[in-house]
Amino acid sequence: KAGVTQTPRYLIKTRGQQVTLSCSPISGHRSVSWYQQTPGQGLQFLFEYFSETQRNKGNFPGRFSGRQFSNSRSEMNVSTLELGDSALYLCASSFGGIQVSSYEQYFGPGTRLTVT
Partner 1 sequence: DQQVKQNSPSLSVQEGRISILNCDYTNSMFDYFLWYKKYPAEGPTFLISISSIKDKNEDGRFTVFLNKSAKHLSLHIVPSQPGDSAVYFCAAVNSGGSNYKLTFGKGTLLTVNP
What residue ranges bind partner 1 (CB under 8 A)?
4, 31, 33, 35, 40-43, 45, 48, 50, 55-56, 58, 90, 92, 96, 100-101, 103-110
Q: Which is nearer to partner 1, 27 or 80 (CB)?
A: 27
As measured in angstroms, the least distance from the Cβ of 54 to partner 1 is 11
CA separation for the pair 31, 95 (Å, rounded): 6
Q: Which is nearer to partner 1, 48 or 85 (CB)?
A: 48
As measured in angstroms, the least distance from the Cβ of 25 to partner 1 is 12
Please tell me whether residue 58 adopts helix, strand or coil conformation: coil
Please tell me whether residue 102 adopts helix, strand or coil conformation: helix
Residues 6+ apart with CB under 8 A from 68: 32, 49, 50, 51, 52, 53, 54, 74
Residue type, position 15, single letter: R
As measured in angstroms, the least distance from the Cβ of 16 to partner 1 is 28
